[in-house]
Structure 1
């Protein structure tokens, strides 16, 4: 092969490679923030989806940095760059609607996952019932304190669907215990550090008066535990609960310091991505194992509007098995 022929063959190969890359549908995953473990688990599950690993689609995960405006700008980028579908985990239930509307106007289907957005333009949603988890965690705390005494509630970011719905579940459980008083209630924005500061202040303001701590996610419950320990108190002297089943929370459950409920971010991410891929690839069949893992959540040919991933309470019987999945 002459040098000229070799150069021509190389050029043709490069052109073919570029054409193949351009033919591969681009899917975006716009998540509200990647600072904490739960959304890192979600993002990793999306990136490890079998269809992504096999190169059927090109996936880009966008870090929304806990800012609705940043998420709006990321949608504008995806629309401009010709993304074929978007999976959306919004920071704000209302503010996220404009982003969904813009994508829909551009003919790009948007699939919700994990947190909700108030838009009728959303193609489908894959997540878990946050009202149910809020009730479950509060019920644990209230049962442990015998439906008497004072509790505090550490909330997620105000205006995010998980905060709104978990609070609804918290209040539903509290309504069953009229002798329990909520003496403090404030957001810590899903942050362990913010929750620790809140709890330090509350322990100082209400010495010996707090019996239960309802953290709307594990990170905040863990922050409260750090504050309790820093005050020279024992976590076991309180009833403490969180939601998500992050690794440190699993260890804390095993130690008897708190209760937690596993939110399956892996299933939420891969389920939503299966739907998004089915929307852009003709004759696509779901490739994630989550559909066989959760037979009560059928694939329904990818046509259902709601897919409900079940919660799994973390217990002494299953905590070691859950920890083994984090190795």
Structure 2
């Protein structure tokens, strides 16, 4: 009888211990980002590491620098598959090439959530980013209005084939098409790079001397490179409107100086929101979101629901003289 009682007690202890053991699981998540040279992706990666689940140790994050190369990202997926990661957050450099990497991970039963840049795969669990077509339209509209609705504009593009470049171009061109007196002088890539944009702009200032009336940079780094080129030629950026996207620190300061306009892309919201969605998939219906993004943008229509939506669009924020200081203070914390 005593023996049977011991068995019953042991079974009860194991039953009680099982849920606790399940709660103690540490999820190994890989974050495959297209590149870490620019400030925006650095902000994204740093924000991911500040997610409450990472801070309390229930998630272990490994960030992989894709070095702006699709094959490098593909190889990094092989590494995560071999090492049996629990899930992957993916910011692809190429929307089409990245699909192969997603397919491999899903075949290995590793769920993938896209963030910031899209990949052409129906096998993603979800996508947490922002609508780049909207941002492209906003920046083009701002520049063209500052030009008085007429004149010659330059468009500096991101890496050809990345979703942000494709969608921001669409937004740019949709707006330009509405103005019959606006002409696109040049539209070329500078690969999100300030240095490449500087070199490109230096050439354009020679080829199109005196004929440039506005500059649309598909991200802040490239817009700032264009501004550097203008200043080097003794031209005032205040006389040639320049726009960018992302809201990196130098861009916010430039907005304060009146030398450019920019639109904030919420790196923290995209990264931490993406991790919440991935954890919901891994943990199950009992998972409660821990990122602040769901409260920050609730009034603007971003809702968690049950955490299983195929897409979550984090709203854009125009950077103004009224909010610039607050944004910089928040970033310094």
Please give the TM-score of this superposition, normalised by the length of structure 2: 0.91
- Structure 1 stretches of 5 or more lacking a match? 1-18
SS of 1:190's equivalent in the other structure is coil
Instruction: Identify the match of residue 317 of structure 1 among 307, 315, 322.
Output: 322
Distance 2:238 2:258 in 1: 7
Q: How far apart, in 2, do the equivalents of 1:28 and 1:284 lie?
A: 19
Is 1:303 the equivalent of 2:312?
Answer: no
2:278 maps to which residue?
A: 276
> Any residues of structure 2 matched to 1:1-327 within 5 Å, and which?
23-282=25-284, 283-295=286-298, 296-327=301-332
Q: CA offsets, 1:108-130, max 9 Å, x none?
A: 11000000000111110001000
TM-superposed CA distance for 1:281, in Å, is 2.2
Q: Is the 8 A contact 1:85 1:279 kept in 2?
A: no
Query: Using the alignment, how far apart are the partners of 1:34 and 1:93 within structure 2?
Result: 18
Instruction: Classify the secondary structure of the residue corresponding to 1:121.
Output: coil
Query: Which stretch of the first structure deviates more once superposed, 34-43 or 289-298?
Result: 289-298
Matches of 1:217 and 1:81, distance apart in 2 = 35
Instruction: Report SS of the residue matched to 2:331.
Output: coil
Check conservation: 2:281, 2:308, Cα contact below 8 A. Answer: no
3-state SS, counterpart of residue 291 of structure 2: coil
- The number of residue pairs the alignment matches comes to 308
User: How many angstroms apart in 2 are the aligned matches of 1:75 and 1:298?
Assistant: 30
User: Take 1:129 and 1:203, find their aligned partners in 2: how far apart are those partners?
Assistant: 31
Note the alpha carbon deviations across 1:94-116, whole angstroms, 9 max, x for none: 00000000011111110000000
- Contact 1:68/1:92, CA 8 A, preserved across alignment: yes
Q: C-alpha separation between the residues in 2 aligned to 1:194 and 1:303? A: 40
Q: Report the secondary structure of 1:133's partner residue.
A: helix
Q: How far 1:58 sits from its partner (Å)?
A: 1.2
Structure 1 runs of 4+ with >3 Å offset: none
When normalised by structure 1's length, the TM-score is 0.92
Looking at structure 1, the residues matched to 99 and 256 of structure 2 have their Cα atoms a distance apart, in angstroms, of 40
Shift in Å, 1:326: 2.2
How much is the aligned-residue C-alpha RMSD, in angstroms?
1.3
Q: What secondary structure is seen at the aligned counterpart in 2 of 1:199?
A: helix
SS at match of 2:94: coil
1:154 is displaced (CA, Å) by 0.3
In structure 2, how many angstroms separate the alpha carbons of the residues matched to 1:266 and 1:249?
A: 17
Deviation at 1:23, TM superposition (A): 4.4
